[in-house]
Chains A and B, each alone.
Chain A
């Protein structure tokens, strides 16, 4: 008697095959390639967590890419906050993948730039740039991306000049933006969710890159997007666009 006849005769085998086909189909469907970007609100973290003795915070969001329905389902299930997905075409997907693969390089650059920019604004002669950069790099291993550059630089200036911009915790100061070798603050992604994260954490002052002039369509700039989000969501956080580190320091030193 061949196997098929045996299966036909045994009802339980036919039923088992039908039942086992269900998870098989589900698994195939869930594994079907689907490329999307996701972003969800995150939190604010003190620069102290990165080994910088400052009072300011940087804001992070949960973001990444999903490659199939299963990953989308897992990300949605494990995210505590509202999550936003947007489709990626093949070209965008390849760009994102390439970015995530080389994100450590960008992170290293912004950290070195932050340390160097902070170092020239302090009188201390004993700063070892590469040692400090290495220490921050190690402590930031849980974070991807380079958008905390500006806040690291501000924190380092507090540490080395013995300043306290929070004025004994009177202000909660956070922000986002990369920092370039010349102190310019560079544009970043996920401004909307970073602002919402800041609002959730009662941030008083939030720095964003003053980048309006670099965009043909101004709506794509962090500066315009931040303004729009504050208005739409009626946020209480005070958004301060800064073009470079000096502008941020000037603002902080003039705080009442």
Chain B
């Protein structure tokens, strides 16, 4: 058996690492914007280039994430037919407004509930549990902050430049947290597949035929 989410997971990991690199660069340019305007004006064009690249990368990251989430749930259902969230259900949980407030937490807490009772994934489950609140609240805070900053750009009200720095810092932390979570889920899926393979091997004889008990 081959995990369907393997390629999407690795791709997501590359995209996340690329996003982290660009988030670090954006954080540095924002720091200069806030604390050294003269120097910032010299790298203004470079910052524009990074902003465009990062913005498009962010949207591509969302698409890759949704593909991975769908395939990871396909694997979870295939590894355990009793798994309570279907691939489409997982997408609905993170994509539907308001419902996602509950769904975003539920998707990962269900994974934790699933990993915890199995010996080989118990530790990974515990690690995932630690990251869920960080991911959840950071996601909500950064989303809220980005909305505030976008509205301030339209001149509706003024905000401190420091808020930009805070927003980029939190974005960076969120990407790190999310990368850790993706790594945990991918490792756990690998281990679950090994467990499943062992069960299949135990129930088949060397010729691949089901073992018959006497």
Residues of chain A touching chain B, judged by Cβ–Cβ distance below 8 Å, are: 10-13, 15-16, 19-20, 22-24, 26-27, 30-31, 68, 70-71, 77-80
Contacts and interface: CB of A to CB of B under 8 A. Distances in A.
Contacts of A12: 7, 10-11, 14
A79 B60 contact: no
Contacts of A70: 48, 51-52
A31 B154 contact: no
A31 B48 contact: yes
Contacts of A80: 154-156
B153 interface: yes
Contacts of B18: 16, 20
B53 A24 contact: yes
A68 B48 contact: yes
Nearest to B17: A16
B156 A23 contact: no
A78 B154 contact: yes
Interface in B43-76: 45, 48-57, 60, 64
B15 interface: yes
Contacts of A78: 153-155
Contacts of A71: 48
A235 to B, nearest CB: 24
A68 B51 CA distance: 14
A31 B52 contact: yes
Given A27-B49, A71-B48, A16 B14 contact: yes
A148 B60 CA distance: 47
A39 to B, nearest CB: 15
Nearest to A17: B14
Contacts of B56: 22-23, 26-27
Nearest to B156: A80
A10 B7 CA distance: 9
Contacts of B7: 11-12, 15
Residue of A19, A70, A78 contacting most chain B CB atoms (<10 Å)? A19
A13 B51 CA distance: 24
Contacts of A16: 11, 14-15, 18
Interface centre among B7, B52, B55, B60 (most CB of A within 10 A): B52
Contacts of A77: 153-154
6 contacts: A20-B57, A23-B53, A31-B45, A68-B48, A78-B153, A79-B154
Contacts of A30: 48, 52
